[in-house]
Amino acid sequence: MVSLLDAKIHPAHVPTLLGLAKDDFAQGSRYDGERADLPIAQGAVSALRKHAPLLPESAEALYAVAIDTADPDLRNSIFELLANTGGASLQGRLFELAIEPGSLRVRRAAASALLHTSGAIAWEVTARITPELLATRIPSVATHLVLMLAAEGELAAVERAAEQLATNPKRRVLLLLLIWVVQDRDARMAERLAHMLPPEHPAVVWAFGAETQVADEGMLSDLGEPGICSEVLIYMKRAEQLDL
């Protein structure tokens, strides 16, 4: 049925697709607490992309599915759809989901959806990224927030965040991500941010795109706590693999 509804686009199909997005048929067996693979629900969400932007009540129904599902791929797909087509209102909901207490998986997925939107993040959302949030939220959310701020936040806000992070021994490693992204927006600012870190630090060399030693946790150990350094290292490794 999903295939048929996907092939023949019509607004009247949306309620049926929303119902199928709640389908709990799982691919293979699983135990309680394990991740699920729900192919019918995934297919329904894929078909709903062709009907975006969805009406508020339809978007709300999908949001509820994403919160409750045990299928991370389904959750990611829904959050991505909402972040890209739901406007400032739904981006704001995802932002709140990312920064408030709750399931770590859900929080990470919400932050990731915002970071990877195909268009711009609403200014109302990036304006809410404060130095306090960067200093206190879980590492996997904090790295997403700092990248969003660096890419789309007001430059004055970027510099204010950098100044506070530079005095935070637990989180100053986030300055690397600020430099890495903001240098394409304002090279002089990137240089100023670099001066907030130890001179000639090998990780700063990486942030500016120059060849350096292979990144590892030892390179970052003087810039923050292990958890946040591990999250920053993910981006450093990714850049090496892509030869950025």
Which whole number is the average pLDDT over 66-90? 95
Please state, rounded to an integer, the average pLDDT across all residues of the chain.
90
Question: 123-127, 141-145, 216-220 — which is least confidently predicted?
Answer: 216-220
* pTM of the predicted protein model: 0.88
- Judge contact between 162 and 178, C-beta under 8 A: yes
Taking the domains of the chain in order of start, what are their residue ranges? 2-115, 129-242
Other CB atoms within 10 Å distance of the CB of residue 116: 15
| Confidence check: pLDDT of 80 > 90 | yes
| Confidence check: pLDDT of 5 > 90 | no
Query: Any idea of the CA torsion for 166, 181, 153, 224, to the nearest 10 degrees?
Result: -30
Question: What's the CA gap between 135 and 79, in Å, rounded?
Answer: 25
| Confidence check: pLDDT of 36 > 70 | yes
